[in-house]
Structure 1
Amino acid sequence: MTEATEAAAATQATAAAPPRGRRVSLVLAALVAVVAVIVVAVSVLRPGGPGPDSPEAGFARDMSTHHAQAVRMSFLVRDATEDEAVRLLAYDIINTQSAQIGMMTAWLDQWEAPKVDPGGSMRWMSGHGGHGGGPAATMPGMATREQLEELENAEGRAAEVLFLKLMIAHHRGGVSMAEAILSRTDHKQVERLARTMVQGQRSEVDLMNTMLRERGAA
């Protein structure tokens, strides 16, 4: 092979091989693609979240029902009084707990869990604070039908006092439920929401006790 032929061959080989920087980039791109495939595979194989019969799903179902009654009572007192402090409290409860209901409903959809437990409410909380499960199980702090009717018919100061008493009991029951799920879950989103409920509702209980004293009620 002549010198000219050798030089031509070397030039062709050099032209065929990509520069070093480009080779590194190609290798990195290939590694990134492999990692991406692994991540996708792990996410597909990993469970989507708590199961339909898990404590987390039970908490989301029952606390949504619990919140719904608080929202209903808040609407009732908002329309029964002109007191700005009570109306502001009712407004805060309506907005906060409605938003939390939306969050918990989204969880149930994500977990493919039913919105109503066919086995009965409060099964997930069995053994905590004396609350068992089953079709007839009641949630702590819930107002009775008669109490709701009384609040619906009350006006002015009477409505304010009744609402505050019922909501204090309701919040204490909600705190009990939130504390129960904290001892049963390691799901970060559920833990975060439950802690928010405990702190927020305890603070509102203190506020409502003060408001009761200001209205001459025990």
Structure 2
Amino acid sequence: MTGSRTNRTYWAAGTAVVLAALFAAGAAFATADGSQDGDGGSAAPRTPALYSPDAGFARDMAVHHQQAVEMSFIVRDRTQDEPVRGLAYDIANTQANQRGMLLGWLDLWGLPKVVADEPPMSWMESSQEGGGHAGHEGHAAKPGALMPGMATKEELDRLGGSSGRDAEVLYLQLMTDHHKGGVAMAQGCAKQCRTPVERKLAQGMVEAQQSELTLMTDMLRQRGAAPRG
């Protein structure tokens, strides 16, 4: 079972690296604000600042996505239900690839993947790209979770220790919470990020995850359960 999970992880990571390189190459030709010079050509690309929404979203969403991938691999080993296993596979594959893109952009911009003094979600209150980082009130995570929607260690342990219908229901509930937090973050980037290709990715996340939220609500109902809270 461990070897199977490891193979899936390497496959997803390898795909993510390829896509990250492709998107990073495309982003290299995109200006941060889409501006053009006086001759109608593209202006020199503006590299996002350390505490910009562009960089903050990339760092935070990469972490957020990593947990979704982890939960999806866990549930695929805890149930034989094909609809849940299929959903988990899709989420793991998609979010591993998107995570690779986000980390690829940070490399392209010459920015760190972790900033010690940056509170999670602080970029959502940034008033300007070059400024410092503001507080993140209004985006509080539950106790024990790093960011809104993320599961706690105890919840991950519960998922790993469950099986069958119990694992399916808990996964769908945890992933529903996770998607709600992810949608809020992606909506923030779609409004605040200045890099066109990143804004487009964020908007795509909003649309895809909202669709999956509807699907997961239906799947929970079929199992006699409902989203939490």
**TM-score, structure 2 length as denominator?**
0.71
Measure, in 1, the Cα distance between the counterparts of 2:194 and 2:57.
Answer: 13
Paired position in structure 2 for 1:215: 223
Paired position in structure 2 for 1:66: 64
Larger radius of gyration: 1
Which of 198, 202, 205 is the equivalent residue of 2:213? 205
| 8 Å contact kept, 2:151–2:178 | yes
Which of 195, 198, 203 is the equivalent residue of 1:190? 198
Measure, in 2, the Cα distance between the counterparts of 1:108 and 1:142.
Answer: 22
Shift of 1:129: 7.2
| 8 Å contact kept, 1:48–1:111 | no
Shift of 1:185: 2.0
Percent of pairs with identical residues: 54
Q: What are the within-5 Å matches in structure 2 for residues 1-218 of structure 1?
A: 46-120=44-118, 121-126=120-125, 130-131=138-139, 138-218=146-226
- Assess, with a 3 A threshold, how the Cα gap between structure 1 residues 78 and 88 changes in structure 2: closer, same or farther: same
**Number of residues of Structure 1 aligned to a counterpart in Structure 2:** 175
Give every structure 1 segment of 4 or more consecutive aligned residues whose post-TM-superposition deviation is greater than 6 Å: none
User: Aligned-residue CA RMSD in angstroms?
Assistant: 2.3
- Assess, with a 3 A threshold, how the Cα gap between structure 1 residues 84 and 132 changes in structure 2: closer, same or farther: closer
| 8 Å contact kept, 2:54–2:194 | no
- Higher-RCO chain (CA-CA 8 Å, sequence separation at least 6): 2
Whose helix proportion is higher, 1 or 2? 1
| 8 Å contact kept, 1:78–1:87 | yes
**TM-score, structure 1 length as denominator?**
0.75
Paired position in structure 2 for 1:15: none
Question: What are structure 2's unaligned runs of at least 5 residues?
Answer: 1-36, 126-134
Shift of 1:132: 6.5
Q: What do residues 183-204 of structure 1 show as CA deviations (whole Å, max 9, x unaligned)?
A: 2123211110001100000000
Shift of 1:137: 8.7
